[in-house]
Structure 1
Amino acid sequence: MELDPIEIMEILKEKGITHLYHANTVQTASSFIKAGGLFSRGAMEDAEYLQTPQSSDELDKQFNVWYDIFLDSSDLHSLFNRQNHYGPVLFKFDVEILSQEGLPPLWVTTTNPIYWDENSKEEERYFQSTQEVNEGYTDTSYRQMITLRNTSSPLLFEPYLEEIILDNPGVRIGDVILKKKASEALAEVIAENDYILKNVKKRMRKCSNCWCKENYLRQRTASELKLAFYP
């Protein structure tokens, strides 16, 4: 059900949530930066922007979320002490982004669409009121997400994007150091975006007591790492 974005923003603030997040691969993130905002995967495809295939793509189409933009209310990498499965580049927004004019219809999922069943009802997939969100939404759940539905327009970075964070996998493939490869690719496209260049903090993530480097090294193939870190 479509919910009032201002009411949702105020509920999030009351819960101590001050930022919203979106993680993706270096290639897809580079396309976002060139475009000046986040796009749904469907809109990216229509505009012929480069984007990395995701394992959830067919489910997104099946469940009619292919044209939705997804936002988390926490940095899942820090929350779970492991890499974000959607990609090593994290965009961090002020929660006030929900107050911008012309925002697409806002819905809030009760769980990630990858866990939906084809027979599940709308009320099982989405919160049905702001009261339900207030009572049931938590920033410690990676399955509950803010979604902006059925949109071909970008969620613009300016003036709400505060930070871009890149993982350091601590891995090299042959002579290619992934950290260097990814950071150089992002720096190249950021140099073309005046707003991000001047106003947005850019940093390499520094982890402690985190499994990300071990997971990147032991659980990801060279092909999977290239998909995540190559432009």
Structure 2
Amino acid sequence: MELDRKLVLEKLRDKGITHLYHANTVATACTFLRQGGLLSRGAVEARGLYQTPQNSDDIDKKFNVWNDIFFDSIDLHTFFSRQNHYGPVLFKFNIDVLSYDQLPPIWVTKDNPTRWKKGENNYFLTIEDFESEYSLGKYREMITLRNTTEVLPFIPYLEEIILDDPKLMIKSDDTIFLNAAADALRKELNESGFDYSHVTRKYRDCSSNFCYCLSNYKGQVGIQKLKDKFLI
């Protein structure tokens, strides 16, 4: 159910939420940078652009969210103390992105679609329900921009790009995942034709923090998935 975007923005601010987050792979992030903003997976496909396949693609199509843009209201990497499963590139937006004058309809999920079941009510139906139930600690809730094939512009809303450092390399050719990913992102930031000079760029270093991302990247993700997430 569509919610009034001004009221959603107001209620999020009241809850102390100042930013929205979107995580993806390096290859998909480069596509976004080249286009000047976020696109739904359906829009990337329709435009004939590249995006890394995700395990959730079939589910997104099944539940008719293939053309939606998704935001978290929390940095899931920090919240869970592990890597974001959607990818190592995190786009951090000022919450004012919801005031964009051509913003698609806002629908707010009660859970990630990967856990939806047919026949259930998966969205907040009223702003009152949203206000009373939506919580920063309920990480599964997602802000979605429904059924859009247009670019949601980075400028002026994107504040920071955060890139994971798995501290791993491909020994056969000495490819360091962080360096390869950073080079690809830097190239798009510099050559896309958009002015991203205001966007802060940061490497996430979890080596001294209580975070499982490094052990997960090394022991669970596997070399092919690391290539899919970090290389283009």
Bucket of the pairwise TM-score, normalised by the shorter protein = over 0.9
5+ residue gaps, structure 1, are none
Give the TM-score taking structure 1 as reference length: 0.96
- Specify the alignment match of 2:141 in structure 1: 144
SS of the residue aligned with 1:73? coil
Which residue of the partner structure matches residue 203 of structure 2? 204
Per mean C-alpha deviation after superposition, the further-off stretch among 14-23 and 141-150 is 141-150
**Mapping of residues 63-212 of structure 1, within 5 Å:** 63-120=63-120, 124-174=121-171, 175-193=174-192, 195-207=194-206, 208-212=209-213
Structure 1 counterpart of 2:216, one-letter code: N
Q: Which amino acid aligns with 1:150?
A: N
Quick one: distance in 2 between partners of 1:101 and 1:214?
43
Query: Which residue pairs with 1:18 in the alignment?
Result: 18
| One-letter amino acid matched to 2:47 | A
Counterpart in the other structure of 1:37: 37
The structural deviation recorded for 1:152 is: 0.2
4+ residue segments displaced more than 3 Å = 193-197
- Quote the offset at 1:139 in angstroms: 1.7
Question: TM-score, normalised on structure 2?
Answer: 0.96
Listed as ranges, the gaps of 5+ residues in structure 2 are none
Alpha-carbon RMSD across the aligned residues, in angstroms, is: 1.0
Q: Which amino acid aligns with 1:224?
A: K
Q: Secondary structure at the match of 1:118?
A: coil
Aligned residue for 2:8, secondary structure, equals helix
Q: Secondary structure at the match of 1:143?
A: coil
Code of the aligned partner of 1:76: L
SS in 1 for 2:191: coil
Distance 1:21 1:79 in 2: 12
Secondary structure of the residue aligned to 1:199 is coil
User: Secondary structure of the equivalent of 1:198?
Assistant: coil
Q: How far apart are residue 195 of structure 1 and its match?
A: 4.6
Structure-1 separation of matches of 2:194 and 2:60: 31
**Equivalences, count:** 228
